[in-house]
């Protein structure tokens, strides 16, 4: 693909440019124009981004910027911007900073009161969430789950009383293990896994956690590629019985206290049945 973008000089700024997460057709017109117009492209992996640029018919000066050199590179790149230049930050796929490098660079740019311009586009979490069928009105993006088993369990345990939809990135090596923990801790909870978004084998699997685990664990093909895991928020089924306000307090307290203690406080406060409250928590 040869770029038809006119190379025009851009306003001096740090541009945060989203690139495709699989399907190259997802690059935006403005991303192409920006990449064509900047003085320098800072990329997580310059070899990877070179392929994208050459697909767009562009040859650019590049610098690598990754987790291990971000602090050192940030001042060099921002000096260029401060001197009137323009720099584009891209990651290997999707939106920079979203489970990708760039935070230090952008934070320092803001501290130095330099202009930072987002050039939005693909992002795996938004693509997955928007097509999942799960509630999108309130959600929490949690990035990658911890690798260590205890820390992963602790992170997922919180979902027992988390009312928001929660979104995670997961790797091919860990997807089955993670689904096992989700099914064990959150039985019957609705989940979606979005695999290989925008690519040939794009797949959405949705249903109760134990069913999705069954589908993935029994099919090696479903374990390949890149994954977004989405877990429906906790629904307070007894809300009607105990009232919305007590249910909210119970939910909030249960994050900090053992279920028995949380149930006792809410029961005392509202004159409700302790057992009913406790039952609703452990269920
Ligand atoms: N910055 C990227 C974004 O905007 O989505 C995310 C980068 S993060 C290092 C990579 C992870 O994002 C993958 O391990 C996977 O969990 C998720 N991901 C990226 N592309 C994906 C795709 N095409 N389908 C499903 N998940 C994807």
Which among 24, 98, 99 is the best mutation to test ligand 1's pocket, defined by most ligand atoms within 8 Å of the CB?
A: 99
Is 232:134 a contact under the CB 8 Å cutoff? yes
* Greater pLDDT, 267 or 152: 152
Residue 63 has pLDDT above 80, yes or no: yes
Q: HSE on the CB side for 254, CA within 13 Å?
A: 26
3-state secondary structure at position 270: helix
39's enclosing H/E stretch is none
How many CB atoms are closer than 10 A to CB 55? 14
pLDDT-based confidence at residue 281 (cuts at 50, 70, 90): confident
Residue 56 scores a pLDDT above 90: yes
Question: What residue's CA is closest to ligand 1, atom 2?
Answer: 94
Q: For residue 1, what pLDDT is reported? A: 55
Confidence of residue 236 (pLDDT cuts 50, 70, 90): low
Mean pLDDT, rounded, for 67-74? 94
Going from the C-alpha of 114 to that of each of 12, 63, 82, the distances in angstroms are: 9, 19, 7
Length of the chain: 283
In terms of phi and psi (left: phi > 0; alpha: psi -120 to 50; beta: otherwise), the region of 224 is beta
Strands 190-195 and 165-170: unpaired
CB-hemisphere CA count at 13 Å for 165? 22
Nearest atom in ligand 1 to 95's CA: 4
219-255 core/surface letters (b: 16 or more CB in 10 A; e: else): eeebbebbbbbbbbbbebebbeebeeebbebbbebbe
Report helix, strand or coil for 76.
helix
Distance 192 CA to ligand 1 centre (A): 15
Burial of 272 (0-12, 13-18, 19+ CB in 10 A): middle
Q: Considering only CA atoms, which of 254, 257, 261 is closest in space to residue 283?
A: 254
Distance (Å, whole) CA 222 – CA 170? 13
How much is the pTM?
Answer: 0.84
Question: From atom 12 of ligand 1, which residue's Cα is the shortest distance away?
Answer: 169
Q: H or E stretch including 238?
A: none
Residue 95 has which token pair? 């939106």
**Residue located via tokens 């290989």:** 196
CA of 157 to the centre of ligand 1 (A): 24
> What secondary structure letter does DSSP report for 234?
P
Separation between Cα atoms, residue 6 and residue 21, nearest integer Å: 25
| Least confident stretch, 68-82, 192-206, 211-225, 255-269 | 255-269
List, for residues 112-169, the tens digit of each pLDDT value: 999 999 999 999 999 999 999 999 999 999 999 999 999 999 999 999 989 999 999 9
Q: Dihedrals φ, ψ of 214, to 5°?
A: -55, -45
pLDDT of residue 243: 81
The per-residue pLDDT for 151 is 97
Residue 35's pLDDT band, with cuts at 50, 70 and 90, is: very high
pLDDT category at 5 given cuts 50, 70, 90 is: low
- CA pair distance 134, 263, nearest whole angstrom: 29
pLDDT at position 270 = 86
* Cβ 10 vs Cβ 117: under 8 Å: no
Give residues (CB < 6 A) around ligand 1: 21-22, 91, 93-95, 98-100, 123-125, 169-171, 194, 196-199, 226-228
Q: At what angle do helices 244-256 and 259-270 cross, to 10 degrees?
A: 150
């Amino acid at each position: 693909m040869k770029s038809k973008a006119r190379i025009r000089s851009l306003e001096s700024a740090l541009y945060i440019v989203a690139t495709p997460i699989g399907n190259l057709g997802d690059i935006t017109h403005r991303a192409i124009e920006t990449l064509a117009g900047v003085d320098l492209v800072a990329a997580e992996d310059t070899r990877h981004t070179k392929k994208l640029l050459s697909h767009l018919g562009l040859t650019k000066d590049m610098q690598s910027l990754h987790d291990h050199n971000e602090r050192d590179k940030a001042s060099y790149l921002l000096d260029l911007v401060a001197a009137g230049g323009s720099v584009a930050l891209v990651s290997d796929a999707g939106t920079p900073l979203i489970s990708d490098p760039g935070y230090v660079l952008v934070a320092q740019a803001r501290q130095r009161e330099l202009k930072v311009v987002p050039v939005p586009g693909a992002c795996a979490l938004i693509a997955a969430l928007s097509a999942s069928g799960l509630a999108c009105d309130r959600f929490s993006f949690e990035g990658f789950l911890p690798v260590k088993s205890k820390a992963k369990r602790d992170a997922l345990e919180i979902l027992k009383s988390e009312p928001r939809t929660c979104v995670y990135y997961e790797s091919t090596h860990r997807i089955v293990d993670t689904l096992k923990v989700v099914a064990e801790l959150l039985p019957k909870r609705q989940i979606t896994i979005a695999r290989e978004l925008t690519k040939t084998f794009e797949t959405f699997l949705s249903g109760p956690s134990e069913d999705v685990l069954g589908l993935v664990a029994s099919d090696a093909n479903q374990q390949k590629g890149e994954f977004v895991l989405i877990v429906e928020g906790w629904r307070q089924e007894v809300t009607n019985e105990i009232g919305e306000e007590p249910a909210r307090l119970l939910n909030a307290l249960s994050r900090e206290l053992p279920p028995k203690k949380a149930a006792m406080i809410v029961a005392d406060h509202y004159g409700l049945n302790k057992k009913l409250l406790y039952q609703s928590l452990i269920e």
